[in-house]
Amino acid sequence: MEDEFPFEISPMFEGERVRKGDMYVELAGPKSRGFELVKAVKMDEIKDGKFTLIGPDLSEMEEGARCPLAMVYRIAGELVEPDLEAIVERRNHDFQNYIQGLMHLNQRYDVWLRVSKDAIKKGLNSFEMIAKASMMLFKNELPFIEKIDATYITDLDEVEKELSKAMEIYNARDERTRHLHEEDVDVFYGCSLCQSFAPTNICVVTPDRISLCGAINWFDGRAAAKVDPEGPQFAINKGKVIDEIGGEYSGVNEIANSLSSGEYDRIKLHSFFEYPHTSCGCFEVVGFYIPEVDGIGWVDRDFTGTAPNGLTFSTMAGQTGGGKQIVGFLGIGINYFRSPKFIQADGGWNRVVWIPKKLKYMVSGDIPGNIIDKIPTEEDASDLESLKKFLMEKEHPIVHKWAEEEEAEAKEEPASQVPGPMSVQSLFQIPAVQMPMSAADGSGVKLIFRNAKISIDRVIVKKKD
Ligand code: SF4
């Protein structure tokens, strides 16, 4: 069957990138519109394998064009239920990346595809080929799908119309977990799909923490684990609560240890600084620590400017991804902002000091009323100076934290070293950092830096004589 396609299909193409210079056409993505959606329907509603295109086909698109694309699949089968829609939808990312010359990024309303010039030269000239290859993979890899059809839309007006309906479906899925919490369940769910490019990443999905890609919530994980217990989504017995506020559970630690091959053995689901959740690369939002104000900023994929630290989303995403625990950066799904446990170990919303305007608007209903106006966006603060000024003017809670830290420092320091009146400069130092080190005699020493700003131009490592 694969012979009918003018391209190869294999998981080995998953890491293939189609760079701008090699791209024939770009579909959806930040410069256009699009989405992907899977809907469960009854068996008699589907003609298996049917493909419908609304709008121009690939052969009608000019080289270098950026075009809208929506991909809607309908699935049916005895075991198919609406709870499986999100899980199946997420696999469109893998399966389309198996197609040589096609790059698929992100999920839901963030999808972004590129078709390479090479693929076009080899004969890829219709969306039907992509849809038929994708449907074949869905049925091969997810045997509970007995029938599938696909509708691709490239007409902008039609994409916009269907996108607003899709948004209602995504929102309804996310809303389901709102009244369920970690303390109400004994089982969480894990996902290891992204290990193909982030080998030590495990997404831990709880009622209070959606997956990093934002596509899989606790109900979706449950449905997937039920229908395919050996698949990439699996149950995690919660085990004992080790740290309620940080969100540390013995069952999560055990699974993290075994599935990361011992790379890490502790995860605190609601902590930014201590044993944070790993970040693969599919996250919808990156959180970044801003030492100058001791706060956390957040930036999403749609934000194309620079954050107050001078970095773009893509630069910070590069620092964050790869499946490691990176203290100082954290990838999350947007719906985690709506969780009452959102980074609760670090002060929750009181620690948030910057967020792009559009993202703030999206989650504004879940930002506590007493802090919402104190969190600046790109319109209020574009660099560190304007950020500090805004936070002080609005009396953001972090400003009180600076004062408390200064007071504690003053009490601890010998009289001769007590600083004078608090200067603006002194407020913006990093919090205390403790570095355990070994002394020459092996007894160990501990260096404590308080209110220190450290910059290192060069580190020289010399062999001990
Ligand atoms: S981001 Fe997490 S939940 Fe989403 S596909 Fe990757 S591993 Fe799975």
CATH of domain 2-175: 3.30.1650.10
Enumerate the domain spans of the chain. Answer: 2-175, 182-395, 399-449
Least confident stretch, 255-269, 394-408, 421-435, 443-457: 421-435
pLDDT tens-place string over residues 117-163: 999 999 999 999 999 999 999 999 999 999 999 999 999 999 999 99
- Residues with beta carbon inside 6 Å of ligand 1? 90, 191, 193-194, 201, 203, 211-213, 215-216, 280, 282
* pLDDT above 90: percentage of residues in the chain: 73
Q: Is the pLDDT of residue 435 over 60?
A: no
How far apart, in whole angstroms, are the C-alpha atoms of residue 462 and residue 459? 10
- Pick the more confident residue, 42 or 452: 42
Q: Which residues of 287-321 are buried (b: 16+ CB within 10 A; e: fewer)?
A: bbbbbbbbbbbbbbbebeebbbbebebeebbeebb
**Average confidence (pLDDT) over 372-385:** 97
**What's the pLDDT at 88?**
94
**What's the pLDDT at 438?**
38
Nearest residue (by CA) to ligand 1, atom 1, is 213
Nearest residue (by CA) to ligand 1, atom 3, is 211
Considering the four listed CATH numbers 3.30.420.40, 1.20.120.550, 3.40.640.10, 3.40.1470.10, the one that applies to the domain covering 182-395 is 3.40.1470.10
Q: Is the pLDDT of residue 13 over 60?
A: yes
Strand partners for 3 = none
Atom of ligand 1 nearest to the CA of 211: 3
Q: Is 405 helix (H, G, I), strand (E, B) or coil?
A: helix
**What's the pLDDT at 429?**
40
Q: Is the pLDDT of residue 189 over 60?
A: yes
Q: How many angstroms separate the alpha carbon of residue 358 from the centre of ligand 1?
A: 24
- Phi, psi at 36, each rounded to 5°: -130, 145
Mean pLDDT of the chain: 89
Q: What is the largest CA-CA distance in the chain?
A: 84
> Is the Cβ–Cβ distance between 27 and 115 less than 8 Å?
yes
Q: How many angstroms separate the alpha carbon of residue 407 from the centre of ligand 1?
A: 43
**Average confidence (pLDDT) over 261-287:** 94
Split at pLDDT 50, 70, 90, the class of 174 is confident
pTM above 0.85, yes or no: no
Among 60, 34, 209, 81, which residue's Cα sits nearest to residue 126? 60
Which mutation among 280, 286, 336 tests ligand 1's pocket best, with the greatest number of atoms within 8 A of CB? 280
Strand partners for 71 = 36, 152
Split at pLDDT 50, 70, 90, the class of 431 is very low
Helix H or strand E encompassing 87: helix 85-97
